[in-house]
Amino acid sequence: MIYITGDTHGDINRFFDGGALDTKLTKNDTLIVCGDFGFVWFDESNPVGFNQDNDKLDRLSYKPYTILFVDGNHENHDRLSKFPEVEKYGSTVHKIRDNIYHLERGRIYTIEGKTFFTFGGAYSIDKYMRQEGISWWSGEIPNDEEYKRGIKAIKNADYKVDYIITHTCPSEIIKMYLHHIPDPHDGELTGFFDYLMYEVDFKCWFFGHWHTDDYFKVPMRGKTKKFRALLFDVVNIEEYEEVKYDEY
């Protein structure tokens, strides 16, 4: 079974001691985190933090289920990119531990027979409070190669996947449903998501970033498209399997 949740921000308590992710998931289950995983943060320049990260990842490696995540804006993208790339789910992933993998931007993966388009990243509005290479990394914003890879993957899939997993979301969702003003620094990414929102057929789009748990049914070209914002909720993907076009 596949479960999805929102930003974990390196909080190990979410996974243990009765936390939201201290669940009865088994070795046959998969958990997907919608960005800001946060357990890959410090590098060797901070030995204490680096060792703490590794201790947390080692603890997570004892979980019986598989943990997958797209990257958010609050990640050490430099360190993340140094993990080995391996073939898994029909494309490449970064292997963090034997049961922990980073789902790359612009890839389509097949997990338990379902297809997922993944595209992490977002702009940090708190960038002014952070220090580059210490608490902020420029890799939070996708590059041209990642956009091109994503477009190619979607075209090759004939503009149809089962699910989309991102960190942030389309600008129209930000404005009309989350009631925020999209940051112009994020405009290229959220604009790209607007394009996907209209052009791609999908059962549900899951995202984090906005620190809310909510569900939106969006009327669009005679269809209803589903969007699920996640933070603490842990949802079973089977709840979003059925697609209806007459819900509005």
Q: What is residue 17's predicted lDDT score, i.e. its pLDDT?
A: 79
Confidence of residue 248 (pLDDT cuts 50, 70, 90): very low
Q: Region 75-83: what's the mean pLDDT?
A: 97
Say if 193 falls within a structural domain.
Answer: yes
Q: Quick one: which H or E segment has residue 150? A: helix 144-156
CATH number of 100's domain: 3.60.21
Q: What is residue 247's predicted lDDT score, i.e. its pLDDT?
A: 45
Beta-carbon contacts of residue 233 (< 8 Å; ≥ 6 apart): 5, 6, 20, 213
On the question of pLDDT at 244 being above 70, the answer is: no
C-beta separation of 34 from 230 below 8 A: yes
Burial of 39 (0-12, 13-18, 19+ CB in 10 A): buried
Q: What is residue 23's predicted lDDT score, i.e. its pLDDT?
A: 77
Say if 50 falls within a structural domain.
Answer: yes
Say if 181 falls within a structural domain.
Answer: yes
C-beta separation of 65 from 100 below 8 A: no
Share of the chain above pLDDT 90, in %: 87
pLDDT, tens digit, for every residue of 194-203? Answer: 999 999 999 9
Q: What is the mean pLDDT of the chain?
A: 94
Beta-carbon contacts of residue 107 (< 8 Å; ≥ 6 apart): 91, 92, 93, 117, 118, 149, 153
Confidence of residue 21 (pLDDT cuts 50, 70, 90): confident
Say if 245 falls within a structural domain.
Answer: no
What is the C-alpha to C-alpha distance for residues 196 and 200, in angstroms, rounded to an integer? Answer: 5
On the question of pLDDT at 246 being above 50, the answer is: no
Q: What is residue 242's predicted lDDT score, i.e. its pLDDT?
A: 67
pLDDT, tens digit, for every residue of 33-56? Answer: 999 999 999 999 999 999 999 999
pLDDT, tens digit, for every residue of 138-151? Answer: 999 999 999 999 99
Say if 94 falls within a structural domain.
Answer: yes
Say if 68 falls within a structural domain.
Answer: yes
- How many domains does one find in the chain? 1
User: Containing domain of residue 231, as a range?
Assistant: 2-240
Say if 180 falls within a structural domain.
Answer: yes
Say if 248 falls within a structural domain.
Answer: no
C-beta separation of 178 from 157 below 8 A: no
Q: Which pTM does this prediction carry? A: 0.95
pLDDT, tens digit, for every residue of 56-75? Answer: 999 999 999 999 999 999 99
Q: What is residue 20's predicted lDDT score, i.e. its pLDDT?
A: 77
Q: Region 222-233: what's the mean pLDDT?
A: 94
